């Protein structure tokens, strides 16, 4: 807890058995809820998570990274978390920054805080492939123009959110795939939430998860599509569900009779909304 606010760390996991222990070991004491959502892994991610004392929820099959996040946030909000910090369990991001990121929200400085791999120039030193670094910088430059923002990176998976952000964003309109991350940040900008960044050292290694070149290309086109939709709606030329205040949001109140802590089946039909 920080400044009277409860902190949840959510870990959207898929075949993270090899790196989960190291990720969890560094979580700070201020964390009130540690929630892992296993998106149909074929390894022992779920059982290891239980052994490490995490609140584990298992999807009945692999629904995708975006759907995994929806379940993560639903479980965190249902437990009364005031601040939710998403940490990838692949140990690329240091969990030592959870306290710093949550503090910036707990004391009212920002509504959203991102762990940027670009501030301080750590990305290439940490082993990020050159093509990913170049694509990151190019896409970020385009998005800053299209969204009218000034972020150093839109593509980090290390994020912290105030409860009101997760309650108000139409997250159920977003993709089930990796572009969910980008849509979510575009929504934060569109709805006027304050976004801050901290420098985050990262490391790339064999056991760490990473999307392949083909899926990276697909993600890149999704980013461009999201940016264009944002600009068209801002100009009043089109309307998209992802930027609608009437769009579908995460359902509450939390129903413990549906989610027992052992299994969380997908709550919504597969969705690739824009």
Per-run averaged pLDDT (10 residues), the chain, 274 residues = 96 95 93 97 96 96 95 96 96 91 97 90 60 86 96 94 97 96 97 96 62 80 96 96 94 52 42 42
Q: Residue 160 CA to chain centroid, in angstroms?
A: 8
Find the helix packing angle between 130-147 and 213-234, rounded to 10°. Answer: 10
Cβ 203 vs Cβ 123: under 8 Å: no
Q: Where along the chain do its domains lie?
A: 7-243
150 burial level (CB within 10 Å; 0-12, 13-18, 19+)? exposed
What 3-state class would DSSP assign to 81? Answer: coil
Query: What pLDDT is attached to residue 268?
Result: 43
Query: What pLDDT is attached to residue 132?
Result: 78
- How many residues are given for the chain? 274
Query: What pLDDT is attached to residue 211?
Result: 63
Cβ 78 vs Cβ 254: under 8 Å: yes
CATH class of 7-243: alpha beta
My answer on whether omega of the bond before 55 falls inside 30° of 0, hence cis, is no
Largest Cα–Cα separation, the chain:
52
Query: What pLDDT is attached to residue 201?
Result: 81
């Amino acid at each position: 807890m920080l400044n009277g606010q409860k902190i949840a760390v959510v870990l959207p996991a898929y075949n993270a058995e090899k790196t989960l222990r190291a990720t969890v070991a560094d979580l700070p004491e201020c964390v009130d809820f540690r929630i892992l959502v296993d998106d149909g892994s074929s390894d022992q991610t779920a059982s290891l998570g239980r052994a490490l004392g995490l609140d584990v929820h298992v999807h009945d099959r692999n629904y995708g990274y975006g759907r995994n996040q929806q379940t993560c946030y639903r479980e965190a909000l249902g437990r009364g978390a005031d601040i939710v910090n998403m940490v990838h369990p692949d140990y690329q991001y240091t969990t030592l920054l959870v306290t710093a990121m949550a503090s910036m929200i707990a004391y009212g400085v920002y509504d959203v805080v991102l762990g940027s791999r670009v501030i301080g120039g750590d990305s290439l030193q940490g082993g990020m492939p050159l093509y990913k670094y170049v694509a990151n910088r190019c896409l970020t430059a385009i998005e800053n123009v299209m969204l009218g923002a000034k972020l150093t990176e839109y593509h980090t998976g290390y994020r912290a959110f105030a409860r009101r952000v997760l309650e108000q964003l139409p997250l159920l309109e977003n993709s089930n795939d990796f572009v969910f991350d980008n849509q979510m940040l575009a929504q934060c900008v569109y709805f006027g939430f304050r976004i801050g960044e901290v420098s985050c050292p990262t490391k790339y290694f064999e056991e760490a998860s990473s999307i392949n070149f083909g899926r990276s290309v697909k993600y890149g086109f999704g980013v461009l599509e999201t940016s264009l939709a944002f600009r068209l709606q801002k100009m009043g030329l089109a309307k998209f569900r992802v930027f609608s205040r009437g769009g579908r949001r995460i359902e509450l109140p939390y129903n413990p009779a549906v989610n027992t802590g052992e299994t969380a089946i997908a709550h919504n039909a597969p969705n690739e909304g824009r």
